[in-house]
Amino acid sequence: MEKENVLVVNQFFEATSKGDLATVQDIMAENVDWQSPVTRVEREEVSWAKPRHGRKEIPAFFKDLFEKVQPDKLEPLEFTAQGNRVVVEGRNRGTAITTGRTYEHDWIMVFTMHDGKVVRFRHYYDTSDVLAAFSKK
């Protein structure tokens, strides 16, 4: 089961890197519980950081994200799979559209799988790197 789950997660990264949002959406379960980034503090600059419930809400996440940042590189580094979970450590870079300033941060993504679909997705990272890129200083 772990190997199959890692294959699905790799499909997620391949589709994301190509901008293939239809495939990203298809990898998700109909009732997926999605949050990226996981935070309890709402900030206008990081408007995409709110829970999404259901496959149909995933395009809104990417719309909100792409209105504010231009991702440059999403780099998964380490995969750990156990049972129905795949944990991925990585890093990415991007640019805040309003300032043109770049950011880079490390992250952890946790995919919980059921029947070959992602039922729960959590993306953990410190948003201060992104917020600094929105700063005009």
φ/ψ of residue 20, rounded to 5: -85, 80
**pLDDT score at 137:** 66
pLDDT in tens, 39-56: 877 788 888 999 999 999
pLDDT at 136: 75
What is the pLDDT, as a whole number, of residue 22? 94
The tens place of each residue's pLDDT in the chain, 137 residues long, gives: 899 999 999 999 999 999 899 999 999 999 999 999 998 777 888 889 999 999 999 999 999 999 999 999 899 999 999 999 999 999 999 999 999 999 999 999 999 999 999 999 999 998 888 899 998 76
Domain spans of the chain, in order of start: 2-134
Does this model's pTM top 0.85? My answer is yes
> Under 8 Å CB-to-CB from 44, ≥6 apart: which residues?
none
CA dist 35 → 3, 87, 99 (Å): 24, 15, 25
DSSP assignment letter at 1? -
| Domain formed by 2-134, architecture | Roll (3.10)
Bridge partners, residue 110, by sequence: 87, 122
- Whole-number pLDDT of residue 56: 95
> Which two tokens mark 24?
């990203």
How far apart are the C-alpha atoms of 56 and 50, rounded to whole Å?
A: 15
> What are the strands, taking DSSP E only, across 64-116?
69-82, 85-96, 102-114
CA distance linking residue 102 with residue 127, whole number of Å: 13
